[in-house]
Amino acid sequence: MTVSNQRAAGRTVLVTGASAGIGKSTVERLLREGYTVYAAARRVENMRDLEDLGAVALRMDVTREEDLTAAVERITAEHGGVDVLVNNAGFGLFGAMEDISLDDARYQFEVNLFGLARLTQLVLPHMREQRAGRIVNVSSVAGKVYTPLGSWYHATKHALEGWSDCLRWELKRFGIDVVIVEPGLIRTEFGGIAFTPMAERSAGSPYAEIASKMTSRMDRSGSHGSPPTVIANAISKALRARRPKTRYVAGQYARPVLLARSLFTDRMFDWLADRMAG
């Protein structure tokens, strides 16, 4: 047994958003390393392959209290509790701020922040009792920068960054680590979900032209970027480390974008956003 497998033995992991992309790749990686893995997502039918590999698939909508409670209760009954939580579920809502209803904006926050916060609350009693645990929050470089027509999505990721920083300070006294993972451009379904409805949402509005340009420029096929395994590897590294870093940055353009934001003034970064928008 490798050192990695020795550390994984006996540890139970819950991964949300596990039906595709980063979540699915993370489950596959952690199973190979010897963790007991519960894979949670709304589309449980898309996780049959993970079940074949040894994962336990859970149907979970992170905005539904009953789904979150049922999942944690089952894991507690079967393995004592969640030792590692990977908060990966999320989606991007793009479009002009004025064109997006507040109901849609609230749902963006429910998925990307409040849902994962409630799930975190549910797993913490077990972690505090054993004075050990690790929480990995999959954020984005979007939590540090901004892009055209991304106000609500960026707002959730900026909020997740600050929430995670505060949580890290609160939980360190209980032996619980909080880690933020900041992906760059990754080959997932994100583009199609985030950008395809944008032009339709802004049709006839003052932002129709820019929305149409952005829609045509963005990769909606998911064919560009780093493979999701890059982020799965970063998550694995964070779990294997005895003293993990507070942040792991990985994926295409991630480091250059963050470097540009640190060096550019706001007006300079606005200029870069203009170039992105065409």
Active site residues: 19, 139, 153, 157
Q: CA-to-CA distance for 28 and 46, rounded, in angstroms?
A: 14
In contact, 90 and 112? CB cutoff 8 Å: yes
Residues 6+ away with beta carbon under 8 Å from 82: 12, 13, 14, 38, 72, 75, 76, 123, 126, 127, 133
Which 3 state secondary structure label does DSSP give 81? Answer: coil
Provide the 3-class DSSP secondary structure of residue 231: helix
What residues contact residue 31 under an 8 Å CB cut-off, 6+ apart? 37, 50, 53, 54, 55
- d(CA 115, CA 87) in angstroms, rounded, equals 9
Q: Helix 65-79 to helix 115-130 angle, to the nearest 10 degrees? A: 20
Name every residue whose Cβ is closer than 8 Å to that of residue 193 and which is 6 or more positions away in sequence. 91, 92
Asked if residues 18 and 26 have their Cβ atoms less than 8 Å apart, the reply is yes
- In the sheet that holds 176-183, the strands lie side by side as 56-59, 36-41, 12-16, 84-87, 133-138, 176-183, 247-250
b/e per residue 188-207 (b: at least 16 CB within 10 A): bebbeebbebbbebbeeeeb
